[in-house]
Structure 1
């Protein structure tokens, strides 16, 4: 256990190094899912004036209270045009949905409740209240904050942004994350496998997480088992904000990752975490670049990305969702490391229930298809019974 730090200490150590790639201004058609860096303000008022909510006639309510009342039609207002004159007592103006009301009008007589003959209409249904008018500024007024900074932009946010006459938004720039799997045994997906070789699945899974958390993933290839090979890969990703070396950081004879980064000038801040899975996780700074070393076992890499990579990308993804749930089955006494069990949570009778998956081996990928959360168990936690409450972390 010598040299290992706790999960909480690791997160505290990572906090000052959270990525901030700055801001950029982009078109709203490219902004879905991006994190807004600056408030979106309304550049106009909506509606810009009192407008009709229906097709019909702009009238004075006082002239339409009785069935059979006659009014003279003095003009027409299509949507997108302005009335040319006001209406007076006993007058009406043909109007269409979205068109501005003429001065003097305080009610819309819908066309289904009027009969027209030439330049006159007759009220067929008595009118008792002001209706079918959308008042100026009912939705928003110029200068209003339409979307606050920090929001992950949704289709509704972008529609509102456009309605406020904004063609662009300022968002947080996507950090560039380089994924460097290491190991002579690894081959890219689609390769013909020979004995002793395995497929690199970590690059695809981690790249997908990076993108889902608002970053850009760079996958330059697989580093061989030598300091020189890893150094060449480090040099190739010198534009990345964060490097994710995967594997090669345990205590085997062919684990060269930390040695290569140290030779490149990296300052290692911690070199192992008392966590299961993921004990070999480490962190360093290489100039302005962050370096988060993840375990090579696929489940370990995925879980540790959730626990330690996500906080580094907080500015583009936000915090992980933590929730309480009742255990469906009991758990035995925890070990000496903080443990995260892949699990499935669900709603049952208004309560959140969680069940750990049966096989927690760190090399297995198929359980990650099923798991939607992690059960957090503190070091040496006592055994739990079914129904006990546990803390869970939602998986992305």
Structure 2
């Protein structure tokens, strides 16, 4: 029996295991939550012309100015401005050639067809120059980034109707355990409502995966083998429960019987030590612990990075933020520990409950506090690495 490996080594081996899937081109409007498979190159400059940043007057030369027309958004003034000429202009409208500045409406003093300024505008004031946002041919979005609403807007502004994105992996979730009941409203006292499958499905779907739910599956080798068979079409199979060393923990022996190659099955973290990574042909298999907090934490640390990596994300691993803690934390132990914490007025408040079955405390958590092996005690006010949930 080999000992547990470090989290950093497990992450390295995890990412080496996951091969990015093929890309596909879909409408840009449908890309939220996906990952770019190629750089996005601007097909136009933004803005394509000098624009006014304010309502007022586009002016040329010194005052007073003679008002000779109007430039509206989408309906530009059709001539160049001569010295001492002005046009009424709206925000986002084209600045006529010859515009020196924008006299904002609040500073304009009208006298018939003439306009003066109560505050002389500086040259170039309130003008959005052509291409100031981005130029034609510029890379506006880089391969591997997550696409959100702002990225969709940039892509469309850059002239793209569709984008190339990583294919969404199909993830089969197998929930294991004799004690589990599918219907929480009809659960006898000696059983437990199945909850990990729903939790993991929500996490994976939120990261861009397509979900297949299987189970609960009883702790019988033939039933578990049948479940793996039903998951044959998935890119990634995730099991919850059955990955430890007990007599009824059958995931590892069944996988070996099915010809899978086990990469590792213990990681030096708390919660979540019993964790398995395997491959069966092109399919990646991740075995998570059955205790719900352990299942959640290991899914956050391993399942979600796997899904991102399969979509060719350039930063698949979670990113730690250093945040101050509101109360002291004792020294770390022999395993890297992830404590639940919640936001408070004076910083992150560590949640005292650390039992790996305590779902209520997990539901209150905003962050996971990362405590290194043998970490020194942390005083109130110290910044510690945290993963925002």
* TM-score normalised by structure 1 residue count: 0.82
How far residue 345 of structure 1 moved from its aligned partner, in angstroms, is 5.9
Tell me, in whole angstroms, the C-alpha distance in 2 between the residues paired with 1:207 and 1:126.
61
**Does the Cα contact within 8 Å between 2:61 and 2:85 map onto a contact in 1?**
no
1:25 is the counterpart of 2:22: no
Tell me, in whole angstroms, the C-alpha distance in 2 between the residues paired with 1:105 and 1:383.
64
Q: Which residue is equivalent to 1:121? A: 114
Structure 1 gaps, min length 5: none
Seen in structure 2, the aligned counterparts of structure 1 residues 162 and 226 have a Cα distance that, compared at 3 Å, is same
Q: Which residue is equivalent to 1:344? A: 341
**Does the Cα contact within 8 Å between 1:344 and 1:354 map onto a contact in 2?**
yes
Q: Which residue is equivalent to 1:321? A: 319
1:44 is the counterpart of 2:37: no
**Does the Cα contact within 8 Å between 2:67 and 2:88 map onto a contact in 1?**
no
Tell me, in whole angstroms, the C-alpha distance in 2 between the residues paired with 1:71 and 1:319.
61
Secondary structure (helix, strand or coil) at the match of 1:308 reads helix
Q: How many residues align?
A: 380
* Comparing 77-86 and 13-22, the one that deviates more: 77-86
**Does the Cα contact within 8 Å between 2:65 and 2:86 map onto a contact in 1?**
no
Q: Which residue is equivalent to 1:6? A: 5
Q: Which residue is equivalent to 1:149? A: 143
* Comparing 79-88 and 174-183, the one that deviates more: 79-88
Secondary structure (helix, strand or coil) at the match of 2:217 reads coil
| Residue from 222, 237, 257 that aligns with 2:231 | 237
**Does the Cα contact within 8 Å between 2:59 and 2:100 map onto a contact in 1?**
yes
How far residue 318 of structure 1 moved from its aligned partner, in angstroms, is 2.8
How far residue 244 of structure 1 moved from its aligned partner, in angstroms, is 0.9
Structure 2 gaps, min length 5: none
How far residue 246 of structure 1 moved from its aligned partner, in angstroms, is 1.6
Secondary structure (helix, strand or coil) at the match of 1:229 reads helix
How far residue 141 of structure 1 moved from its aligned partner, in angstroms, is 1.7
Tell me, in whole angstroms, the C-alpha distance in 1 between the residues paired with 2:145 and 2:132.
23
How far residue 17 of structure 1 moved from its aligned partner, in angstroms, is 0.5
Seen in structure 2, the aligned counterparts of structure 1 residues 104 and 304 have a Cα distance that, compared at 3 Å, is closer
Seen in structure 2, the aligned counterparts of structure 1 residues 216 and 115 have a Cα distance that, compared at 3 Å, is same
Residues 95-137 of structure 1 show CA distances to partners (whole Å, capped at 9, x for unaligned) of: 44433333344344456624364xx325364745334433222
* Comparing 2-11 and 107-116, the one that deviates more: 107-116
Seen in structure 2, the aligned counterparts of structure 1 residues 247 and 313 have a Cα distance that, compared at 3 Å, is same
* Comparing 340-349 and 290-299, the one that deviates more: 340-349
Residues 198-221 of structure 1 show CA distances to partners (whole Å, capped at 9, x for unaligned) of: 111111221222233333332133
Tell me, in whole angstroms, the C-alpha distance in 2 between the residues paired with 1:53 and 1:385.
50
Seen in structure 2, the aligned counterparts of structure 1 residues 7 and 333 have a Cα distance that, compared at 3 Å, is closer
RMSD (CA atoms): 3.2
1:362 is the counterpart of 2:356: yes
Q: Which residue is equivalent to 1:35? A: 35
**Does the Cα contact within 8 Å between 2:66 and 2:86 map onto a contact in 1?**
yes
**Does the Cα contact within 8 Å between 2:61 and 2:84 map onto a contact in 1?**
no
* Comparing 107-116 and 267-276, the one that deviates more: 107-116
Secondary structure (helix, strand or coil) at the match of 1:61 reads coil
Higher Cα Rg: structure 1 or 2?
Answer: 1
**Does the Cα contact within 8 Å between 2:103 and 2:117 map onto a contact in 1?**
no
| Residue from 220, 241, 247 that aligns with 1:247 | 241
Residues 167-220 of structure 1 show CA distances to partners (whole Å, capped at 9, x for unaligned) of: 222223222221101123211243411242211111122122223333333213
**Does the Cα contact within 8 Å between 1:59 and 1:105 map onto a contact in 2?**
yes
**Does the Cα contact within 8 Å between 2:292 and 2:356 map onto a contact in 1?**
yes
Residues 9-60 of structure 1 show CA distances to partners (whole Å, capped at 9, x for unaligned) of: 4334323103522322222322223323322222212222223344444442
Secondary structure (helix, strand or coil) at the match of 1:313 reads helix
How far residue 90 of structure 1 moved from its aligned partner, in angstroms, is 5.1
Tell me, in whole angstroms, the C-alpha distance in 1 between the residues paired with 2:184 and 2:34.
32
Tell me, in whole angstroms, the C-alpha distance in 2 between the residues paired with 1:53 and 1:122.
19
